[in-house]
Each structure stands twice: as C-alpha cells, then as structure tokens.
Amino acid sequence: MKSTHNGIFVFLVVLLVFSTACTLGGTGGAVTTATPIIITATAESAADPGIFLTQTAAVLPTPEPEAHTLPPTLRLVYTDTSGNLFAWTQADGVRPLLASGDIMGARLSDDGQWAAFTRSSDYLHFSLWVIGFDGSGERQLLTPDQLFALKNSADAVGVEPYIFSWIPNSHTIAFNTSPKFEGPGLMINDDLHLVNAETGAFSTLLTPGNGGVFYYSPDGTQIALVTPQNISLINADGSNRRSNVLVYEPVLTYSEFQYYAVPQWAADGSFLRVAIPPHASLDNPGDMTTLWHIPTDGSPAGVAGHVLTAPLSTVTLSPDLGWIAYQSYFSDNTDNRRNLHINTVTGTSDHIYATGEVSIDTWAPDSLHFVYTDRAVNQSKYANKDDGEVLLIPAGTVMNIHFANAYTYIYLKDGGAQWEIYYGNLDGTQTLITSMPKPGGGKFPGYSFVN
C-alpha cells in the first residue's frame, strides 16, 4: 500500500504547493510493470565531466481490462474549507472525525489505521496530532512549545512541521521544520525529526543543516535528502551517509522561495532520477533542463539527458522513470500556448503530443498513459503516450488527480461556489465523494488516501 505525500516546490507553479493546507493524493494497488530503463554512467574526464550513458529499453505491456471499480480497501481522509477533518470509504460514505476548525492537513498511514495532522488557528503556532481512521485515539504528539524549541532562528515566533509523512510500513511520522515569522518569508531548517504515533517517542535524526526535504525509498530503508544545492542519501537509521551524490547550481525562482529538487525513487530502491532546471531560466531561456540518474551505492550521479523546457515549468517523470512529459514555448513568452512534449528520460525520442494552454497532470500507473488538461476549454484527457486519448473528466477546473489503481482515480474540482472531491473510472463514470462551500478566507481543501 502506498500513502500520500505532501508536494513542495513543484517548480514555480506558485512554488509553495499547498504546504500548510493541502494534502496530495497517492496511488496504490497492483499495476502492470516492466523492467525499467537501465542506465550505466561513466565519467568522461576531470576536465570535461560529461557523463555518457547506455540504456536497455523495456516495452511496457498494456494492462488487461478489469472491472472499473475502486479498490475495496481504499480509505480516504480530507480536510474541508473550514479546517475540519472527515473520513470516507465507499461502503460507509463520509464520516466526520474532527470539527475543531483548525486542521491544516492530514496524511494516512500506509495501513490506513492512523491519520496524522497539524493544527493551527493563526498560521504561526502549530501542533502535531494523530487520530484513528475510526475516530478513536485522538492525541497530541507535539505541542506548540515542543515545536518552538526546534525553531533554529531567534526571530521565529513559532515552528511548523513543514513536510510530514509516514515512514513506509510504519507508524512513525517523519518531519522537517520551518520557523514562522510575523512578516512574510519562508525558511526550511533542513532537519529531520521522528515521532512514533503509538508511543509518542520523539527523536531528532538530523539537526538543522544536516537534513533537508526528505524522500523515503519505497521500502522505507533509505532517505534522499534535498537542499537547494545538493542531494545526499542516508540509511533510514542515519547511517551510511552518501553526501552530495548530486550537486547542482541553485535555481533562481525569482521570488523569496528557494528551489528544492524533487527526485523520484525506482520501485526497487536501487536508483533515483531527477530533473534539474537551469540556474536562471528567465534570463537565459535557451538553457537546458538536465535529467540525472542517481545510483544508491554512493557513486556520483550521471547525466541521462537534456531537454529545453519553457522557463519556470516542470518535467514530470513516469512511475517507471523511463519517460518524461514537459512543456516548451509555442512561440514566445507572450503566448499562453505551450507544446506538451513526451520523451524518454534520455531525451532521445521527443515528440510534441499537444499544443495549446496545456499542462501535464499526472502519469498513469502503467507509464503508458498520462492525464493532461487543456485550460482553454477546461477539459482533462486520458492519453496514450504513443497515440489516442479520451475525455477523462467533464468540463471544469480540476487538480490533484491521483490514480487509486490502473483504472480509477481521485481528484479535486472547482465547482464554482464549492470545492468537490470525486473519484472517476476510465469508463467515464464520475462519482461525487463530497462537496464543500468556498467561504471567504476559507482554507484550501486536501485529501489523502491509501489502498
């Protein structure tokens, strides 16, 4: 089972991706898989550090048809625009869990037993809590005072658990922190702390400056640590640090926020891949985004390929890490239209799939299909990377689309006067899970689910 994880800095699509109020959905369930592209990296020379790669491509089979239904074990929690927490299953429908009005987001543990969440009534002072999916066992794990002790800045008035998630296959929550100030500004302490939801035991795995934004391997045994300049690896117990397996030039965001790269783990934990944008994409729009392959044995990262993206846009990797989707300028920076490209991670099989006000939403679990949206007509489509597509969701502004299995997906929709959470099937059926009003100054809704 796979739990959801809060995204950050999805390269400058507002930079801060719902860091306090929104939990992104996750994927889970059995899918058809194939051997990923194999890449071997070798350094050319000290004077010319270009790295050459060889690859063996695997053809991914198309999933066999099956009933378009949600996994029967799927559990979902969501926060509404009033800061309340709810649980949902297909069998039982919506159940209120907490109506305190101060809940910032929630994450379900892998087994669906516990929901972790933060509370704040002023966006300055925070606490960390858990509650059972059945509504029992609500308890505070860390008080505002305990979090404030981690501030690492004399000017801070509070501390937020900035990124928090369940360590895979455990009931332990990992989090880093961000000091909160009276005025604007964002700072991440680049630390890493752990707290057990059952015992309340708290420990600091990495002190400020020694951690970063963290990404656990699928089996929970390794951690990728990201800072604005580098990526390092450690074992989950803090041992076997492999520092600076990738060093990159800080990426200008043209704002007060720093850019943190977003690597993705291979399913077997043997490597990661990541796209690093150029240092100053607005100043030098011809500079390329670099695609990197990072082995986990401590050897340096290798260059997998390069692509030319539109400035301040992202490269989206497929689940098997073999394919990418990205945007390029259609004409110039005054034209809202973009080209949507599909390519191999090596950048050697590029083709423009669509042109318009288009953006990639997510890849499907089979790494053959993806979802993209044409904002000009507010339509999202389920597309085959090679050819063909179908209308996925009726017209409307949708976001946070995440597959529950190969055939069903969950998404958030802007319904005008209200936000709505749906699940849909590839057969075209759309089922409303819940709707909520959009009050003035209300919080952004978010959801988390596991299979």
- Is the pLDDT confidence value at 35 over 60? no
pLDDT at 264 > cutoff 90: yes
Rounded average pLDDT over 215-221: 98
- For 294, residues 6+ apart whose C-beta sits below 8 A from its C-beta are 224, 231, 233, 245, 246, 263, 271, 272, 273, 274, 301
Confidence (pLDDT) at 378: 87
Q: What is the C-alpha separation between 358 and 375, in angstroms, rounded?
A: 6
Condensed to tens digits (0 to 9), the pLDDT of residues 424-445 reads: 998 888 999 999 999 877 789 9
Tokens in use for 402?
A: 């995440």
Q: How far apart are the first and last CA of the chain?
A: 6
**The pLDDT value given to residue 39:** 38
Interval 157-185 mean pLDDT:
94
User: 244 with 292: CB under 8 angstroms?
Assistant: no
> To 5 degrees, how large is the angle CA 306–CA 310–CA 314?
70
Provide the pLDDT for residue 66: 53
CA gap 83, 96 in Å, rounded: 12
Predicted confidence (pLDDT) at residue 229 exceeds the cutoff of 90: yes
pLDDT of 221 > 50? The answer is: yes
User: What's this model's pTM, rounded to 2 decimal places?
Assistant: 0.85
Quick one: which of 23, 114, 132 has its CA closest to 402?
23
Q: What digits encode the pLDDT tens for the residues 150-166?
A: 998 888 999 999 999 99
| DSSP one-letter string for 240-252 | S-EEEEEE-PPPP
- State the pLDDT confidence band at 180, using cuts at 50, 70 and 90: very high
Q: 3-class DSSP state for residue 57? A: coil
For 148, the 3-state DSSP assignment is helix
Bigger pLDDT: 52 vs 113: 113
pLDDT band at 415 (very low <50, low <70, confident <90, very high): confident
Q: CA–CA separation, 13 vs 67, rounded Å?
A: 35
At residue 67, the pLDDT reads: 55
The residue assigned the tokens 């009726």 is 394
